[in-house]
Amino acid sequence: MEYIVTDLEWDNVYFKPEKRFINQILQIGAVKLNDDFEIIDSLDIIVRSEISNKVTGRFAKLTGITSEIMREGMPFKEAVEKYNSFVKNADVTMTWSDSDLYTILENEDFRLKDGLKFKLNYYLDLQKFVQQELYKRGYESKNQIALEAAADFLGLNTEGFEFHTAVDDCRVSAELFKISYDKARFESLVKDTSDKSFFKRLRFKPYPISDINDTDIKPSELEFSCPECNGKTTRITNWKYINRWFISNFKCQKCGFKFNGRVAFKRTYDEVKVKHKVCEYKPKKRKNNDVQSVSEKV
Ligand SMILES: [Zn+2]
């Protein structure tokens, strides 16, 4: 089995034809590992931008790639071809978090015209993989951990590595893969990119459901039990949709308690995520006041 660890560095630039900013890939780094997780080859490509002739100050500072260096880089199409011949028949490609994949899709869409794509075969989100090992070792935060912090936590000596330099990030990632390797976990997380749902899932943009009659909403999700006695309740106002929440007032059929129930739905590729909130009952304001204020203006 051969593994590829890939790391991309990108700069956020304004892309005129689309009238929006895109994450333009300007460096492609990769290392190839054998069955014993030893690095047997590496690749480092600087990509010349066809969109702008300057890099942002932030990008230059982070990566060491100045505008001059970038302008001497390789055209993107050639860079991807070179990358693909490096990957060749390697079984699994890994990146530190799937944000690299989103950037790959974006760059394929806007910068490659003839259907050329990054070669992926099987894919592993290395961050997810390593973070599960960290949990086993007592790490607690749910936030995605940065490469440097993960290396620290696992006691990897990173002296002599330049973080945010594509190939060095690959080397550190490869070390973390080796330290955290677990066959069962690997098999549970590795994905076949030739499976149609792989890219469908990536391209799917989760959205909040705003129509109360949407067939993705189960009627039972719109019911609340009484926060006081757990009894059945009746909805006593119409649903309102405010800031992604469906909001209404409820009254308990058993104890008469009134409260404000809120429910939000988010459609993701795999499921509908539902959140419920119970808030203090707020009766509607008396109409008189409104009438008064209106008549005052007149
Ligand atoms: Zn009650």
CATH code of the domain in which 85 resides: 3.30.420.10
Q: Is the pLDDT of residue 234 over 70?
A: yes
Tell me 191's DSSP state: E
Give the distance (Å) from ligand 1 centre to CA of residue 287.
Answer: 28
272 φ, ψ (degrees, to nearest 5) = -105, 120
288 belongs to a structural domain: no
Residues 6+ away with beta carbon under 8 Å from 152: 158
Residues 6+ away with beta carbon under 8 Å from 11: 23, 24, 26, 49, 55, 56, 59
Band of residue 297 on the pLDDT scale cut at 50, 70, 90: very low
Among the candidates 161, 176, 203, a domain finishes at: 203
Give the distance (Å) from ligand 1 centre to CA of residue 212.
Answer: 25
Whole-number pLDDT of residue 287 = 56
Give the distance (Å) from ligand 1 centre to CA of residue 260.
Answer: 13
Structure tokens at 237: 């106002």
Identify any residues that bridge with 23 across adjacent strands, giving them in sequence order. Answer: 12
Give the distance (Å) from ligand 1 centre to CA of residue 278.
Answer: 13
213/174 same-domain check: no
125/62 same-domain check: yes
219/159 same-domain check: no
110 belongs to a structural domain: yes
C-alpha distance from residue 21 to each of 17, 60, 71, 235, 290 (Å): 10, 18, 20, 45, 46
Whole-number pLDDT of residue 192 = 96
132/17 same-domain check: yes
Tell me: the pLDDT tens digits for 267-295? Answer: 999 899 999 999 999 887 655 544 433 33
218 belongs to a structural domain: yes
Whole-number pLDDT of residue 162 = 86
For residue 82, give its domain range. 3-203
How many structural domains does the chain have?
A: 2
49/153 same-domain check: yes
Give the distance (Å) from ligand 1 centre to CA of residue 230.
Answer: 6
164/268 same-domain check: no
Give the distance (Å) from ligand 1 centre to CA of residue 263.
Answer: 19
Cβ pair 110, 76 in contact under 8 A: no
- Mean local confidence (pLDDT), 149-178: 92
292 belongs to a structural domain: no
75/145 same-domain check: yes
Q: Is the pLDDT of residue 140 over 50?
A: yes
| Distance in angstroms (rounded) separating the CA atoms of residues 222 and 52 | 51
230 belongs to a structural domain: yes
76 belongs to a structural domain: yes
Give the distance (Å) from ligand 1 centre to CA of residue 236.
Answer: 14
Give the distance (Å) from ligand 1 centre to CA of residue 35.
Answer: 62
Sheet with strand 20-33: strands edge to edge: 74-75, 39-48, 20-33, 3-15, 92-95, 122-125, 191-192
Cβ pair 84, 119 in contact under 8 A: yes
Helix and strand numbers, DSSP H then E, in the chain: 10, 13
Alpha-helical runs (H) found in 12-125 = 57-63, 67-71, 76-87, 99-111
Among the candidates 144, 170, 203, a domain finishes at: 203
Tell me: the pLDDT tens digits for 91-136? Answer: 999 999 999 999 999 999 999 988 899 999 999 999 999 999 999 9
Q: What is the pTM of this model?
A: 0.78
Tell me: the pLDDT tens digits for 22-72? Answer: 999 999 999 999 999 999 999 999 999 999 999 999 999 999 999 999 999
290 belongs to a structural domain: no
Structure tokens at 97: 């978090």
SS3 150: helix
| Distance in angstroms (rounded) separating the CA atoms of residues 248 and 281 | 9
181/276 same-domain check: no
| Distance in angstroms (rounded) separating the CA atoms of residues 173 and 169 | 6
pLDDT > 90: percent of the chain: 86
Q: Which among 226, 219, 213, 4 has a CA at the least distance from the CA of 126?
A: 4
Q: Is the pLDDT of residue 233 over 90?
A: yes
Q: Is the pLDDT of residue 260 over 80?
A: yes
38/143 same-domain check: yes
Residue ranges with CB less than 5 Å from ion ligand 1: 226, 228-229, 231, 252, 254-255, 257
Packing angle between helix 196-203 and helix 99-111, nearest 10 degrees?
A: 90
Structure tokens at 157: 């000596």
Q: Which helix (H) or strand (E) holds 202?
A: helix 196-203
Give the distance (Å) from ligand 1 centre to CA of residue 264.
Answer: 23
62/133 same-domain check: yes
44/79 same-domain check: yes
Identify any residues that bridge with 235 across adjacent strands, giving them in sequence order. Answer: 250
Q: Is the pLDDT of residue 175 over 60?
A: yes
Among the candidates 181, 203, 225, a domain finishes at: 203
261/164 same-domain check: no
SS3 70: helix
Tell me: the pLDDT tens digits for 207-227? Answer: 999 999 999 999 999 999 999
Q: Which among 59, 102, 57, 51 has a CA at the least distance from the CA of 75?
A: 51
Give the distance (Å) from ligand 1 centre to CA of residue 279.
Answer: 14
Give the distance (Å) from ligand 1 centre to CA of residue 280.
Answer: 14
188 belongs to a structural domain: yes
Band of residue 298 on the pLDDT scale cut at 50, 70, 90: very low
Give the distance (Å) from ligand 1 centre to CA of residue 233.
Answer: 7
Angle made by CA atoms 56, 61, 63, in degrees to the nearest 5: 95
